Structure 1
Amino acid sequence: MMKILVAGGGTAGHISPVLAVIASIRKLNKEAEILFVCSGKDFEIDLLKNNNISYKIIPTGKFRRYGRGKFAELIDVKTQIQNIKDLGRTVGGYNYSRKIIKQFKPDVIFLKGGHVSLPVGLAASRMKVPYVIHESDIVMGKANKLLSKKASAIAVSFPVEAYKDVNNPKMYFTGNPVRPEFYINAELKPKPKKEQKPNIMIFAGSQGAESINNVLFENIELILKNFDVLHIAGQAGVERARFVKHRLPKELKKSYEPYGFLSDEMVAAYKWADIVVSRAGMNSLSELAALSKPSIIIPLAGSTNNHQFKNANYLAKQGAVRVLLQSELEGKRLVNEISKLASDHEAMSYLSTSIHKFFKPNSSTAIAELILSLGINRNMKEA
């Protein structure tokens, strides 16, 4: 029986693709025993239990960077104190990881990146256990960059040549895994309505949602006169969104549906939308690609390594998305951009076709095959 240790989590962006990979591993090798190492957040535990995945919790810490420049961050005492504390948690996570590896005896390890993967990867390297890492963004994160030096394979979401700062012959362009329901029976082209108002989904994201929410609220009546809007405002913004709806004129209320967060209903929300306004997290971009959705992307300003802008910019150069910078979110600019795109059905069709080219439906299977092949090779060497 092959044993596979998996590490990831901390955010939904780090755990959702891993669940897709685990599902593919189970299809390819029904006997595989899988153990998930996570940070122990409630949403992680719920997802793992719902998917019948055994897990272990380790202490983790992250290195905080806010895109303000090295000097500004160096003199930020509060941030540096937190970084020192989290360094201690990472050391603790490394020690826990060594114990888990010693007890579980995995044949191979899969690391999704981020602060949960780092201590597990360092322990794996020290204990000579082969591991595969996956990088979602076009800029490799610090944890993955460090772990890539001794990785047996590196799966990436963008074509290998897009990673200008990494030169590693073990890189494989697998794409970013999404759940099958995002692409099975999906419509590949938008269907503009002639009699009804176009449907706009505004997905503000869990981070940095406030700036998008504020612009929407400031222009809410103007946008609802022309569009039906499904608004995912984030848990911190949903109460205000509901209050805004309560104060709308009666004839506009039916055109606005605010939510804090969607999970199982997310596929239906995407399919309902003619145009999606979203951040540039890799999961969101991959889901848009799977469902061929014309989109206006607003990268999160100050994201680590400016990765959201670089993700979006790569796709924009392929003609796959429209990009609107957060600094440009003033006045009626967002409303004007949505109106401009909604009135140009040829542009919508082009965006739809272009972004779908970026989608790799067999991504989770490709990564699962990499993991299983390494496990088999190790077993053969030890036999």
Structure 2
Amino acid sequence: MMKKIIFTGGGSAGHVTVNIALIPRFLQDGWSVEYMGSESGIEKQLVSSIPGVRYHGVATGKLRRYFDWQNIKDPFKIVKGILQAYRLIKQQKPNVLFSKGGFVSVPVVIGAWLNKVPVILHESDVTPGLANRLCIPFAAAVCTTFPDTEKFLPKEKSHYVGPIVRQDLKRGSAERGRQYCQFTDKKPILLIMGGSLGSRKINETIRAGLNQLIQRFQVVHLCGKEQIDSTIQCPEYKQYEYLNEELADVMAMTDIVISRAGANSIFEFLILHKPMLLIPLTKEQSRGDQILNAASFKKSGFSEVLYEEHLTVETMISDIIRVYDHREVYKQNMEKFIQNDALSFVFDLIKQTAK
């Protein structure tokens, strides 16, 4: 009888990429694969394009750390999502649920637990996010990217696996990337990634310093949903909301990266040996996880860190040039990083846990 797995996770691309890396393994192994996410989140956009995977949308509320009138309505949405997930999972009868986190995962994990379906969580950051903290009591196992995360988890559930990187990113072509962006090989390429939802402050600073940047670099700017500035017309500056199929080629041609410090992205840059300038989300914008991620990478010699409170055109350009001028040092440090076969470990753990 064909085994079935349901994946969940969403709200941002970082809560989907590990699932996207795992899904082909299960399809190749003959499993039936379903995905449960929000009714209109980025996870639906990313997963719907994968052949052989059926997507199910459920209601979800956002777990905010600040006052918002939506906080009054959202508990009812979460309850509705739990009921929807419970019914769907009872109907689908999966052998196991794998959750990457994000607020959408909470009702799905609870729905699986109510159906006595074993749950495995994945935590990318140094400290567990709020959604995963809520889900840990319902999980059989928690896989971690950073070894330090284990001290925040029940010992019997914790499994340090290391970074899970999408295999297709390793197959990018720098030549195809330059053709896609209409760039040459005469000038180095700077890639800016503010996360799938973008970063207004980073976007504004990049554009304010663009005339100085293009004197030394060709610039690819992944600026986030609805944040393209159509008034800028420059052959050495290409902006996109988000890249999917073309991302591997664009990353292959990239010389250095400016990025937020979401764990999935920065580990992908690490595996691809891309020197980084990290601009983590502030504590006012987040729970501080990106600050810890960035500090860990700087300590290991993989990146420099520019805190958003200090972000100006001058500090940004100065730090970009410093990272580029010392790029070989960062690459040498990255080459010393020992990568576990995390993908195979998690794949095997899921198969062993499946009922």
Give the TM-score, by structure 2 length: 0.88
In structure 2, distance between residues paired with 1:179 and 1:324: 27
8 Å contact from structure 1 (residues 39, 116) kept in 2: yes
Q: What's the CA shift for 1:88?
A: 0.5
In structure 1, distance between residues paired with 2:133 and 2:114: 17
Which of 327, 330, 336 in structure 2 is aligned with 1:351?
Answer: 330
In structure 2, distance between residues paired with 1:357 and 1:206: 29
- Within a 5 Å distance, the mapping from 1:1-383 to structure 2 comes to 1-27=2-28, 29-30=29-30, 32-41=31-40, 43-51=42-50, 52-65=52-65, 73=66, 76=67, 79=68, 81-159=69-147, 161-184=148-171, 196-207=186-197, 209-238=199-228, 240=229, 242-244=230-232, 246=233, 253-301=234-282, 302-344=284-326, 348-355=327-334, 358=337, 360=339, 362-375=341-354, 378=355
8 Å contact from structure 2 (residues 150, 158) kept in 1: no
Query: What residue ranges of structure 2 are gaps of 5+ in the alignment?
Result: 175-184
In structure 2, distance between residues paired with 1:283 and 1:203: 12
8 Å contact from structure 1 (residues 10, 41) kept in 2: no
In structure 2, distance between residues paired with 1:128 and 1:40: 24
Q: What's the CA shift for 1:299?
A: 0.6
Residues 169-203 of structure 1, C-alpha deviation per residue, up to 9 Å, x if partnerless?
Answer: 2211223322212124789xxxxxxx943221122
Q: Secondary structure at the match of 1:225?
A: coil
In structure 2, distance between residues paired with 1:343 and 1:255: 20
Amino acid at match of 2:11: G
In structure 1, distance between residues paired with 2:258 and 2:123: 24
Query: For residues 48 and 275 of structure 1, do their structure 2 counterparts lie closer, same or farther at Cα, with a shift above 3 Å needed?
Result: closer
Q: What's the CA shift for 1:325?
A: 0.5
Query: For residues 153 and 372 of structure 1, do their structure 2 counterparts lie closer, same or farther at Cα, with a shift above 3 Å needed?
Result: same
Query: For residues 142 and 358 of structure 1, do their structure 2 counterparts lie closer, same or farther at Cα, with a shift above 3 Å needed?
Result: farther
In structure 2, distance between residues paired with 1:38 and 1:359: 33
Give aligned-pair identity as a percent: 31
In structure 1, distance between residues paired with 2:335 and 2:74: 40
RMSD over equivalenced CA pairs, Å: 2.3
Q: What's the CA shift for 1:206?
A: 3.6
Structure number having the greater helix percentage = 1
8 Å contact from structure 1 (residues 183, 361) kept in 2: no
Amino acid at match of 1:121: V
Q: What's the CA shift for 1:43?
A: 4.6
8 Å contact from structure 1 (residues 288, 355) kept in 2: no
Moved more, 165-174 or 133-142: 165-174
Query: For residues 309 and 184 of structure 1, do their structure 2 counterparts lie closer, same or farther at Cα, with a shift above 3 Å needed?
Result: same
Q: Which residue of 1 aligns with 2:179?
A: none
Amino acid at match of 1:120: V
Amino acid at match of 2:223: A
In structure 2, distance between residues paired with 1:365 and 1:40: 30
Moved more, 106-115 or 87-96: 106-115
Query: For residues 307 and 357 of structure 1, do their structure 2 counterparts lie closer, same or farther at Cα, with a shift above 3 Å needed?
Result: farther
Higher RCO (CA 8 Å, separation ≥ 6 residues): 1
Moved more, 90-99 or 146-155: 146-155
Query: For residues 323 and 235 of structure 1, do their structure 2 counterparts lie closer, same or farther at Cα, with a shift above 3 Å needed?
Result: same
In structure 2, distance between residues paired with 1:56 and 1:152: 23
In structure 2, distance between residues paired with 1:276 and 1:217: 16
Give the TM-score, by structure 1 length: 0.82
Runs of 4+ that moved beyond 6 A? none
Structure number, greater radius of gyration: 1
Residues 25-55 of structure 1, C-alpha deviation per residue, up to 9 Å, x if partnerless?
Answer: 223x31x222211112265444333212012
